Amino acid sequence: MKYLSKIYSEERKPVTNYPNELAAHLIKKIKKNSGKLIDVGCGRGDQLRAFSKLGFDVKGIDISDEAGELCNPFQVYKINLDNEDPVKILGEEKFDVVFSKSLIEHLKNPINFLNNCKKLLKDDGILIIMTPSWYHHKFGPFYLDFTHCTPFTLQSLRDVGEMCEFQSVKVNYFYQLPILWKYSIVKIICLAIQFFKLPYYPMHEQLFHIRWPDNFNKFVKFSREVMLIAFMRK
């Protein structure tokens, strides 16, 4: 199944500067300027390239046969951390940062997944998990991707992290709007969009017959489709 080339095609999800902005924002949050980083569920490699530009030594993990080619020249291991022990392939190699965006919601065994991610971390290393917030996606967008199967709330993601005995687990809501990271007052507009339930594409395809300009549509989409972000320290 060519999931990456279909769901993450250039036509459906064109490459933007967002991965670079996100990487810079996260590195500032965790206060690490270099080190070894592995992206679990690296897909076509957008975040690998972004973290590499910031000076990190990066590798990836993905279950797709396409990922190795799409992420070239970065090394990508084909491992399913839902049920495979990464130590069998990576040996004792450890990382300062394990990053995973929009993956855990695809898995049926999140505890296995987090425990396997933990094996990849150095002592005091940090795991960054990003996943859709069920509270903000339950009206429909969670299932725009037919492979989603395990939703998370702020509380449940924190609980599963603590069950895996990470030393510190912090979970917050996260808006994928770089302007909001710089100007927190913009959140008032996001909350108004949520309150009035403004429609957007593709969630309301054929239900709302006015198509917003792309930039405004993106702002509405990410005002409503809020993520969770978790920082878990080994």
Taking 80 as the threshold, does the pLDDT of residue 5 lie above it?
A: no
Stated as kind and residue range, the H or E segment containing 215 is helix 214-224
pLDDT in tens, 19-72: 999 999 999 999 988 999 999 999 999 999 999 999 999 999 999 888 888 899
200: which 2 tokens? 């957007």
Note whether 120 and 88 are within 8 A (CB).
no
Domains contained in the chain, CATH given: 3-176+226-233 (3.40.50.150)
Residues in the chain: 234
Contact residues for 187 (Cβ-Cβ < 8 A; gap 6+)? 175, 180
What are the structure tokens assigned to 93, written together?
């190699």
Predicted TM-score (pTM) of the model is 0.94
pLDDT score of 183 more than 70:
yes
184: left (phi over 0), alpha (psi -120 to 50) or beta: alpha
pLDDT at res. 87: 92
Percent of the chain having pLDDT more than 90? 88
What mean pLDDT, rounded, does the chain reach? Answer: 94
Six-digit token pair at 58?
């990066």
Q: How far is CA 67 from CA 3, 44, 88, 109, in A?
A: 10, 6, 20, 22
Amino acid at 81: L
Instruction: Average the pLDDT over 167-179 and give the result.
Output: 97
CB-CB contact of 171 with 229 (8 Å): yes
Please state the rounded mean pLDDT for residues 4-13: 62
DSSP states along 97-122: EEEEES-GGG-S-HHHHHHHHHHTEE
Q: Which residues pair with 99 in a beta bridge?
A: 39, 128
Q: Minimum mean pLDDT among 14-18, 46-50, 84-88, 190-194: which range?
A: 14-18
pLDDT digits (tens, 9 = 90+) for 114-167: 999 999 999 999 999 999 999 999 999 999 999 999 999 999 999 999 999 999
